[in-house]
Structure 1
């Protein structure tokens, strides 16, 4: 768990982990310099449950992605989950995901994603499922910004070794795990809703739109919001620079084609989307609409 000024939420999240039906776990927490009561809440819960460990190593200002990636060095468990500070896990989340990943060959890198529900706690409202698309190819992931939610994943020690590298830039840990799942060929999806993804005005990632109509309206209306945020584009570039030596030739070519995309003129970009069959929300047409109305990156 990576924390930063999460005092309003972190207690409920940790208590939801303590309440899991599967009890053989260890929670490792690193704080990124909170100025609220986050640390005092965590220390109180550390004294209550010895399975909770707070890492105080003096490292600060990594941002959420860097903080999560920094935490990987402290884990030696056979399986890991990223844990956001402001969600709530349903009591069977760990058990369901642990059972699912054990179905696969864990002598090689594996990652399993589940689903969750958006949760508007201030309105006492549980919304739609967090994810409606499940990308398994690079061309589906490139325009996915932060990627599939890291807090919905469980991954094995082999995958932890794959992603635990030194990157010149980290947009989000989710993106690194998503791309690794595709590159190393073992990404799976469990069709169950296992957590509540809290939506509030301090979310690091944007709120999840609740239906197709809202998604299309956003694509056409928000002409100042880029199709792909520059930070995520740079995250893809940084990932490629680290992992290209382990990629197949067709994957290298796929990355290089994409990384050249911002240099193209407007109509060349449109042609490239159709030629390469890039997708957003599992749709090339939807991506074309976004690109027609909005810039590619800031």
Structure 2
């Protein structure tokens, strides 16, 4: 089947995005691949966002619905609101799935390039790309995310289970075979799990995960982004200073990653040797977890200090003492 005969779905979230959302919508309408539908979940905007979305809906019938999110607010939860809605559709047979933030800009061949990357896959597969930073005013910086940190998971996809620095949702595309494996329920929304890393883990375990080594998204840094910018620590001295001044936050971040891993493993249709060993390593911590890191050659950044901090957190079991990690998984 020709690529253009397949249909894609784009899931977008908004919240008080009136300043930027038109540029993002324009970038979607300017895509060279035209056969797509768009569903949007708004998290209770009180600016002109809804009016702008309705204006675009009136002129483009590919924009199918604006959902009004009312429960468990927040960026990740807002995404699960639209994901669950698309999951509930019984009369659509989308082949490719995309996730869209309100304030970025997609280059006009993003859909086409990622669909072509996935078209030859006969098993669950996900691809993601690099990003180029732009300022809040939309000025390109010629700086890529990969200039700041290693985001290529293709050599070792298991790194994803120890850090959330790799996959940015706005760069993701995956096929239907992966979509059919992704477990989503109301608890996913309540637990505030990062949707991009959660989906990426499915590809890492049951399918193929591909990295496109060029930026397909202009990533706007406004100062209000949910995700931070990894790698901007000012070298080893900056990294050490961050560890000393933000240690409780770092431990909580690791606790969240490991709790999310356990949630993913619990709802995976079929465990693998790695997921069984990972579950045991996280639950026990200590030397068991360090042996897992060594066995699978896991490194989450280019920094030795970062590796040492992860090893210390796992060895000391500090993550297990956090409120985040003590939540019950159902």
TM-score range, shorter chain: 0.7 to 0.9
Instruction: Note the alpha carbon deviations across 1:24-55, whole angstroms, 9 max, x for none.
Output: 11111111212222111111111121111233
- For the residue of structure 1 that corresponds to 2:34, the secondary structure is coil
> How far off its partner does 1:256 sit?
2.2
Match of 1:241 among 260, 266, 288: 266
Partner of 2:172: 153
Give the alignment's TM-score, normalised by structure 1.
Answer: 0.84
Partner of 1:221: 241
Match of 2:126 among 103, 111, 131: 111
> How far off its partner does 1:271 sit?
7.3
Give the alignment's TM-score, normalised by structure 2.
Answer: 0.77
Partner of 1:256: 280
Q: Distance in 2 between matches of 1:253 and 1:283?
A: 25
Q: Distance in 2 between matches of 1:36 and 1:61?
A: 20
Any stretches of 5+ residues in structure 1 without a counterpart?
Answer: none
Q: CA RMSD in A?
A: 2.9
What is the aligned residue count? 289
Instruction: Note the alpha carbon deviations across 1:58-96, whole angstroms, 9 max, x for none.
Output: 543342222222322443411110111111001111111
Checking the alignment, whether the CA contact within 8 Å between 1:145 and 1:229 is kept in structure 2 is no
Any stretches of 5+ residues in structure 2 without a counterpart?
Answer: 1-11, 87-91, 323-330
Q: After superposition, where does 1:62-77 map in structure 2 within 5 Å?
A: 62-75=73-86, 76=92, 77=94
Q: Distance in 1 between matches of 2:242 and 2:310?
A: 9
Match of 1:176 among 188, 198, 206: 198
Q: CA separation of 1:290/1:242 partners in 2, compared to 1, >3 Å: closer, same or farther?
A: closer
Partner of 2:45: 34
> How far off its partner does 1:97 sit?
0.9
